[in-house]
Amino acid sequence: MTEIQDLRTFSDPTGGAPSPPLPDVISEGLAVVFCGINPGMRAAASGHHFEGSGNRFWRVLHLAGFTPVLMRPEDDRDLLAHRCGLTTAVARPTARADQLSPHEFHASTSALLRKIELHRPTCIAFLGKAAYAAISGQRHVLWGRQTATFGGSAVWILPNPSGLNRSFSLDDLVGAYSALYLAYASL
């Protein structure tokens, strides 16, 4: 299995030492690659995806059926054993996703596309509408399976599990992620 890591570093806006980018957890033969908007500051600092006590990703993934046990962020690379991977649309870490500019999404699109074309997952699941809307140029994006593909992979749009996104309850998130699991579990 191959893991890709972007070798750039990002400076800490508080004046601290630069942090390395959050490494992708990706390989060939995956059913789903979950694509977050960008790393949070805690995830970038720890080097593990969906870090933070308020982030519901790991709990939702387990409750939706993707993992047989509740995983922790520090075990994110073990997700490959469940035929799932992790990446972000934009590599630059921020405290909130709304701190990204539309230009950053556009500038990151070709790298994300190459990554998906190289590893050929069955599906890429964008977590939140913002990244996919910016990348695709669509103003109105619906939740769930999209008619378009991205890099040859089916596209799903799922609610962002961030603790800052309280528009969706835990049950709502589990329902949305379960639909994706049911669509791709047998692959």
**What does residue 72 show for φ and ψ, rounded to 5 degrees?**
-110, 155
Residue at 36 is within a domain:
yes
Residue that wins the pLDDT comparison between 113 and 102:
113
20 — pLDDT class (breaks 50, 70, 90): low
Q: What is the pTM of this model?
A: 0.88
Under 8 Å between Cβ of 101 and 38: no
Is residue 157 a part of any domain in this protein?
Answer: yes
- Whether 49 is catalytic is yes
Structural domain includes residue 45: yes
Within-domain flag for 26: no
Domain that holds residue 69: 32-184
In a domain, 154, yes or no: yes
Tell me the CATH number at 102: 3.40.470.10
Which listed residue (49, 55, 119, 160) is catalytic? 49
Q: How many domains does the chain have?
A: 1
Indicate whether 176 pLDDT > 50: yes
138-156 burial, b at 16+ Cβ within 10 Å, e below that, comes to: eeebeeeebeeebbebbbb
Residue 47 phi/psi, 5-degree rounding, is 80, 15
3 in any annotated domain: no
Residue 13 maps to a domain: no
pLDDT of residue 187: 57
Give the rounded percent of residues in the chain with a pLDDT score beyond 70. 88
